Chains A and B, each alone.
Chain A
Amino acid sequence: MGNGQERHGKNERLGWRATLTAVRAAALILAGLATLTPAASLAADPDNCLFCHEFRGLSRYDREAGGVHVYFVDPDYFHDLAGPHARLDCTACHPREEVAVVPHFPVSRVNCTQVCHLSEPGRQERRFSHSNVAAMLDASVHTREMLSQIQFAGGPLLEPQQSVCLYCHDEPVFRDPANVFPALPALGSRAFDRCDVCHRAQIPVDAEYYLRHVASRLQPARPPLAQTQVCAVCHSDPEVRRTHDLTDAVASFLRSFHGKAALLGDHSTANCLDCHVAAGENAHLMLGRADPRSSVNPANVASACRSTACHPGADPQLAAASVHLDLPTARGTLEFLIAAAFILLTIGTFGPSLLLCVLELFQIVIGRHHEGRREAQALVGAVLAHPAGRRRLVRITVSQRYQHWILVLLFVTLAITGFPMKFADRTWARSLVDSLGGLHVTRTIHHWAGVALMLGFLAHLVYAFPALLRIARRPAPGGGRVGLLRGVWQLPMVIAPWELPKAIQQLAYLVGLRREPPTFGRFSVKEKFEYIGVFWGTTLLGVTGLLLWGQQFFSHYFSGRVLNIALIAHTYEAFLAIIHVGILHIVNVVFSPHVFPLSMATITGATPVTELADAHSEFVQDVARDLGIRGPEDVSRG
């Protein structure tokens, strides 16, 4: 397979190939060229069985057995030499004496371990058998005896005496050689012209066939998703799991990063065999977890993770990160408790915001509205009449508006590129990832958008620090200066402890227990709460995102379980952010009847006079005081 860098490189190439439609088209065309050449001269059908069997309809329905017998054999498999069995005569598997008569005699089941004759170019024939594979299988956890006794929930999947090989295998096909030789499509037939100088006649070898064969063997037999489908035939069957006391390993695998990547069509991610087959062995020698020779034996898991193909530079403690993270069955573990805590946190933070949002909308439904403070409105009018008043009453500055829209852009980017991973089993997730150019491109965008968000966050801290310094240098009421620590509470976007009663007053007003709503300063408690959510969320998502991105590096400093926790924290916090912004914030700033079709505050920074007078009168008073304008009582009286 190559080392990890090669795998990464392949991943990158796959991703870019997916994005470059033109290159893909060229690859398709040139790959197609190989299949369109008159390769049929090599196809194995000397008895012309395909004369009848090439028809899909050559089939019948067996009402008694409730099944369909399809006698169709895809002729393209042979015409295109699509797989390693394309050169086998039909009679290599089906005894000639049984099929030489039409209608055929009852045919015996194909024995996959029987000796067959491979037709070689130049009319040489070689004897070949899969009996060695059968021997391997019998030494593995999947012995033929065990496989022949499997009971499925819906009844047998194979017909009596059919080879158990069919549980995992059908007619094998070559995978695209361009996956391992990306230059091949660009070379086209030229890749073989030089070979053919000698190999066409003197040393007859079909160079193209062998290249496709070898290139196919240099990659997993199936893409990860298809491989998972094969394993799931048994391992997702409830009856098989019950009788063999198996966990739902496929379902839990699909909740891991590797499984989700497989669902999203990534071809380079680890599949079941990458972990469950020891390096240097083959899939037919898979051993049970309890076997000390097994690659997934607890003593060997770290080596499996750190194989050259996967995480070669990782610390052994990376293996503590769960590949089958199944929270519902992991009750009592730290991971489960943290996930549960995040759900409580979600309810605890989202719930009050939801309540406020719904109650505010409910005020509109019942037609309740506050008449407004006449004095406050007069004061706003007086401030606006001041030459500097309008500028001073802008609650959101130009810089803050830029920061907001950069945050919007990065947030949407991160959501679009991150949520397909969370909902990898949904159809839209795969479509979205494909439209973005594949999982590698999607993840790259996600990573760098995350980095940009972190940098933006640091820039915001730098931006806010001078304001904090100014507050810290102010004289404190009790003498001395406010200082940095106490200054934090006076920052305009921080909820100070003494503001909490206002939140309760707001709630009391909305439920009808108060006649007057509370007034706020420059920002309301609700706005401050949203700001704190972004502050906390960016920090948590940034830190956990970095841990997950650099899991190989951080495995030298943290246990793999820290990565489990980072994953839980990242995904739950991201979900909280999405529902908060996607449901509540969007309603507040876009769909609410007060602001529909869009609150202009984040574009012009201006706030309507009534809102200033009603909800931010403390802010208006501060501005009026700074500008030397009289208090609200004086204004209304004057």
Chain B
Amino acid sequence: MARRRRLVMPSLRTIWRSIVSLAKRAYAAALIVLVLWLSFLAIRYLVVTLMFPTPTPAQITGIPKRLTEAMLESRLTEWPGVVSTDRPRAPLARYHRLDQWIQPDRFDSCTQSGCHSPLPHARRKEVRAFLNMHATALHCAICHLKAEQQPLLTVWYDLGTGGARSAPDVLAAYGWLTSDIGRQELADPTPETQQRLVELLRGAARQSGDVPALTQLAEHVAAVHYSSPAFQQLVETARVTLPRHFRGEYGAKLTLLDTSSQQPVLESPGAEPAIRAYLRESASGDVAGRPELWAAIHANHRPQKLHCTDCHTAAGGLLDFAAAGYPAARLEELSRPGVFTMIEHIAGGQPFQLPGFVRPEEPQQSQPAPRP
């Protein structure tokens, strides 16, 4: 036994040495490759930069020069020319500033499939832009999919993850600021109160695409002492500022709730194979089967058209804005029937003369503004 052990031990040592030797050789070989590769890159860089003109870097040329559909599919931060400088210029054909873009929705199968543009409404000149305006806050399913419940069962989904989420922070913040309980808490604030407000404001800023006004407001609220008069002043400023940002840019969209899975509905149920076949046939130029496929894709679609006042009504509307987290002040705006009756009037082909209902009740005062 002892003799056998003596025979085995050297053998194990030898194996170990061989493994170590092999590893050492492999490591040295890898180093050779690495050294040669890095050296090649370095010398190639020198020669290429001397012999061939270097193109203008993307920080300079990588700004959106045209307002194209592709631009709607990208985020602001994906343009190197945009992120390399403060307040970069707008695309050339556009004069007004475009410091934030329409947030791309990468979870809406209607637009992601390649069938529909992110701004899908294009037919009726009178209302197409108004309808597209809704596409930044509402998934197609809200208006275009069949739903039995009235009001609709809805849920917010995050544009970053596609998952269900609570109401956008800008709505939550304003709801809290203007609620009775919120007013009480903010009248006698604590560090926790301040922290909650800061987090809501930061979330609102982030979800709206880093709008400077909200970002600065959040940082300002974070910087002052919760018991100072400046804090109260900022709370008032927030009550004035937040409603200006109810513009449908929430980093989230409202869609139907799938009651079985409790998940947001992001595609027409069961339509995926038909969509693929439709696109395949479109690409090949074979159009014979397209009507059937089209019908299959849109099988779950709401048969009748919706009207503005189906949702924008004081009571009994298809959408329960309050349940979706809209604060009371916003609810009032969303249910003002005059505005939406007017749009339907326009949709019916009747031009609408300004000024009228949209003119503010109080004329703007032209004088130096008070400062805190």
Q: How far does the Cβ of B222 sit from chain A's closest Cβ, in whole Å?
A: 9
A362 is an interface residue with CB less than 8 A from chain B: yes
Return chain A residues, CB-CB under 8 Å to B69.
61, 66-68
- The answer, yes or no, to whether B315 is at the interface (CB within 8 Å) is no
Q: Is A226 in contact with chain B by the CB < 8 A criterion?
A: yes
Closest CB in chain B relative to A218 CB, distance in Å: 17
B351 touches A343 (CB 8 A): no
A100 touching B354, Cβ below 8 Å: yes
Q: Which B residues from 52 to 93 make CB contacts under 8 A with A?
A: 52-57, 59-61, 63, 65-69, 71-72, 80-81, 84-90, 92-93
Q: Are A59 and B132 in contact (CB under 8 A)?
A: yes
- B220 pairs with A59, CB closer than 8 A: no
> Does B47 make an interface contact (CB < 8 A)?
yes
Bound CA span A494–B247, Å: 74
How would residues 58 to 90 of chain A score, 1 for a CB under 8 Å from any chain B CB and 0 otherwise? 111111001111111111110110100000000
Whether B358 and A47, one on each chain, are in contact in the complex, defined by CB atoms closer than 8 angstroms, is yes
Inter-chain contact B126/A103, CB cutoff 8 Å: yes
Say yes or no for B212: interface residue by CB 8 A criterion.
Answer: yes
Asked if residues B353 and A74 are in contact (CB atoms below 8 Å), the reply is no
Q: When chains A and B are docked, how far (Å) is the Cα of A540 from the Cα of B102? A: 54
The interface residues of chain B lying within 8 Å CB-to-CB of A467 are none
Contacting residues, chain A, for B118 (C-beta < 8 A)? 61
Do B93 and A56 touch across chains, with their CB atoms under 8 A apart?
no
Contact of A339 among B50, B72, B100 (CB under 8 A): B50
Interface centre among A66, A365, A427, by most B CB within 10 Å? A365
Q: Which of A451-502 contact B (CB under 8 A)?
A: none
Q: Is the CB of A170 within 8 A of B60?
A: no
In the assembly, what is the distance between CA of A584 and CA of B38, in Å? Answer: 10
Contacts of A354 in B (CB 8 A): 35-36, 39
User: B355 contacts which of A32, A47, A79 (Cβ < 8 Å)?
Assistant: A47
Q: Given the complex of chains A and B, what is the CA–CA distance between A357 and B38 in angstroms? A: 13
Closest to A99 in B: B354
One of A287-295, A306-314, A324-332, A544-552 at the interface: A324-332
Partner pick for A365 among B32, B43, B53, CB 8 A cutoff: B32
B4 within 8 A of A: no
Tell me whether B364 and A43 are in contact (CB under 8 A).
yes
Query: Are A68 and B67 interface neighbours, CB within 8 A?
Result: yes
Given the complex, which residues of A lie within 8 Å of B89, measured CB to CB? 170, 222, 226, 229-230
A352 to chain B, nearest CB (A): 12
Tell me if B351 and A101 are in contact (CB < 8 A): yes
Q: What CA separation (Å) do A593 and B181 show in the bound complex?
A: 70
Q: Which of A159-215 contact B (CB under 8 A)?
A: 159, 162, 166-167, 169-171, 173, 189, 192, 196, 199-201, 204-208
Bound CA–CA A518/B34 (angstroms)? 28
Q: How far is the CA of A583 from the CA of B89 in the complex (A)?
A: 42
Please report which residues of chain A, range 30-45, place their CB below 8 angstroms from some CB of chain B when the two chains form the complex. Answer: 31-33, 35-45
Is B223's CB within 8 Å of the partner chain A?
Answer: yes
Contact string, B90-127, partner A, CB cutoff 8 A, digits 1/0?
A: 10111111111110000000000000011111100110
Q: Is the CB of B60 within 8 A of A229?
A: yes
Given contacts A25-B223, A75-B244, contact A103 B97 (CB under 8 A): no
Evaluate contact between B93 and A158: CB separation under 8 angstroms: yes
Give Cα distance in the complex from A43 to B63, angstroms: 29
Residues of B near A173 (CB, < 8 A) are 87, 97
| A228: interface (CB < 8 Å) | yes
Find out whether the CB atom of A157 lies under 8 angstroms from the CB atom of B92. yes
**Of A59, A67, A123, the contact of B66 (CB 8 Å cutoff):** A67
* Docked pose: A336 CA to B90 CA in angstroms: 39
Choice from B88, B241, B346 contacting A229 with Cβ under 8 Å: B88
A29 to B119, CA, bound (A): 36
Contact (Cβ within 8 A) A329 B53: yes
Q: Does A48 contact B (CB under 8 A)?
A: yes
- Indicate which residue in A31, A36, A167, A591 contacts B241 across the interface (CB closer than 8 Å): A36
**Is A254 within 8 A of B354, CB to CB?**
no
Contact of A69 among B52, B67, B133 (CB under 8 A): B67
For A196, the chain B residues whose CB sits under 8 A away are: 368, 371
Binary interface encoding of chain B residues 234-251 relative to chain A, with 1 for a CB under 8 A from any of its CBs, else 0: 100100110010011100
Query: Knowing A47-B359, A229-B63, A343-B50 touch, does A254 contact B56 (C-beta < 8 A)?
Result: yes
Q: Known A57-B135, A59-B132, A593-B28; judge A76-B212 contact (CB<8 A).
A: yes
Q: Cβ of B21 < 8 Å from any Cβ of A?
A: yes
What mask results when residues 326 to 357 of chain A are scored 1 for a CB within 8 Å of chain B, else 0? 11110000001001100100110010001001
Q: How large is the interface on B (under 10, 10 to 19, 20 to 34, 35 or more residues)?
A: 35 or more
**Nearest Cβ distance between residue A357 and chain B, in whole angstroms?**
6
> With A and B bound together, what is the CA distance between A26 and B223 in angstroms?
8
Q: Does the CB pair A425–B50 fall under 8 Å?
A: no
- Whether B126 pairs with A192 at a CB distance below 8 angstroms is no
C-alpha gap A396/B51 in the complex (Å): 43
Contact indicator A100/B355 (Cβ below 8 Å): yes
- B365 pairs with A76, CB closer than 8 A: no
Nearest Cβ distance between residue B310 and chain A, in whole angstroms?
19
CB-defined contacts of B132 to chain A, threshold 8 Å: 57-60
Contact A39–B122 (Cβ < 8 Å):
no
A367 at the interface (CB under 8 A from B): yes
Asked if A250 is at the interface of the complex by the 8 Å CB criterion, the answer is yes
Task: Evaluate whether A60 and B354 lie within 8 angstroms (CB atoms) in the complex, with A70-B98, A157-B66 already known.
Answer: no
Set B63, B248, B364: member contacting A56, Cβ < 8 A: B248
The reply to whether A361 and B85 form a contact with Cβ atoms under 8 Å apart is no
What per-residue 1/0 map shows which CB atoms of A236-260 lie under 8 Å from chain B?
1000000000001011001100000
Given contacts A254-B57, A365-B29, A68 and B35 within 8 Å (CB-CB) = no
Partner of B368, one of A189, A205, A592: A205
B85 to chain A, nearest CB (A): 4
**A20 close to B (CB within 8 Å):** no
Instruction: List which A387-413 residues lie within 8 A (CB) of chain B.
Output: none
Residue A55 is within 8 A (CB to CB) of chain B in the complex: yes
**Distance between B134 CB and nearest chain A CB, rounded to angstroms:** 7
Q: How far is the CB of B15 from chain A (nearest CB, A)?
A: 16
A83 → chain B closest CB, angstroms: 8
Task: Say yes or no for B219: interface residue by CB 8 A criterion.
Answer: yes
Candidate in B38, B80, B125 with the most chain A CB atoms within 10 angstroms: B38
CB pair A121–B366 under 8 Å, yes or no, is yes
Whether B134 and A57, one on each chain, are in contact in the complex, defined by CB atoms closer than 8 angstroms, is yes
Q: Which residues of A contact B216 (CB under 8 A)?
A: 28-29, 31-33, 35-36
Question: Is B129 an interface residue, CB under 8 A from the partner?
Answer: yes
Which residues of A does B touch, CB under 8 Å?
A: 25-26, 28-29, 31-33, 35-48, 51-52, 54-63, 66-77, 79-80, 82, 99-103, 110, 119-123, 154, 157-159, 162, 166-167, 169-171, 173, 189, 192, 196, 199-201, 204-208, 222-223, 225-226, 228-230, 232-233, 236, 248, 250-251, 254-255, 263, 265, 326-329, 336, 339-340, 343, 346-347, 350, 354, 357-358, 361-362, 364-367, 425, 427, 430, 572, 575, 579, 583-584, 587, 591-593
Q: List 25 A-B contacts (CB under 8 A).
A: A25-B219, A25-B223, A29-B223, A37-B237, A38-B369, A40-B369, A41-B364, A45-B364, A47-B358, A57-B132, A72-B98, A100-B353, A100-B355, A223-B85, A225-B60, A226-B86, A229-B60, A236-B61, A254-B56, A346-B43, A361-B31, A425-B54, A583-B35, A583-B39, A587-B31
- A-binding residues in B (CB < 8 A): 21, 24-25, 27-29, 31-32, 35-36, 38-39, 42-43, 46-47, 49-57, 59-61, 63, 65-69, 71-72, 80-81, 84-90, 92-102, 117-122, 125-126, 128-130, 132-137, 211-213, 215-217, 219-220, 223, 234, 237, 240-241, 244, 247-249, 342, 346, 351-355, 358-360, 363-372
Known: A42-B364, A201-B367. 4 other contacts (CB 8 A): A40-B364, A42-B368, A102-B354, A427-B80
